[in-house]
């Protein structure tokens, strides 16, 4: 198995030994997800063995992602489909980070959100009041938060045009990815 990983990753035996020793010497790790553990719906070589190593050696770890389009629960489900066992406490998304940031900037802030529903849900969970287009047009929110979405209903010219107007009227722009 190690030789398959070494060949796939183009690593020498010395590289593999150095990496193994380095990983063993660490107590905690922060790991990116997309492009590191998986690409799209395909698990990358060595990812499963690496996550199993983290569990087997009782390492503390956090999967960090700049993606705001999936909640931690959805990421756990995605990982399970890829054959990786983990739980929600092992994830920190850009939506979570944005929610924490807004909470620290202004408790009870109002925000106009462009992105998947989980982004708005994370913000609301931390006390941000998410406003719709009509409310944002009537009274400028404190923030405009832009995440990612492939849905034209959630991310389109109309939403971006309003976001620009709101920022020009004083709302602070926050991008999650």
Give catalytic residues, as residue numbers. Answer: 32, 34
Inter-CA distances, 135 with 43, 54, 124, Å: 43, 47, 16
Q: Rounded distance, CA 83 to CA 93, Å? A: 20
Query: Among residues 160, 157, 156, which one has the least CA distance to residue 145?
Result: 160
Over the Cα atoms of the chain, what is R_g? 20
């Amino acid at each position: 198995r190690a030789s398959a990983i070494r060949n796939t990753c183009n690593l020498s035996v010395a590289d593999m030994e150095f990496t193994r020793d380095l990983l063993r010497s660490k107590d905690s790790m922060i790991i990116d997800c997309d492009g590191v553990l998986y690409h799209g719906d395909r698990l990358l070589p060595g990812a499963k063995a690496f996550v199993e190593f983290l569990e087997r050696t009782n390492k503390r770890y956090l999967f960090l992602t700049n993606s705001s389009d999936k909640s931690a629960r959805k990421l756990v489900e995605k990982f399970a489909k890829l054959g990786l066992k983990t739980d929600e406490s092992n994830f920190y998304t850009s939506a979570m980070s944005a929610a924490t940031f807004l909470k620290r900037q202004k408790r009870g802030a109002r925000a106009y959100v462009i992105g998947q529903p989980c982004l708005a849900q994370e913000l609301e969970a931390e006390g941000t009041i998410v406003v719709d287009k009509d409310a944002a047009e009537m009274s400028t929110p404190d923030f405009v938060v832009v995440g990612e979405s492939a849905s034209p209903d959630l991310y389109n010219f109309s939403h971006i045009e309003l976001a620009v107007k709101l920022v020009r009227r004083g709302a602070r722009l926050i991008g999650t990815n």
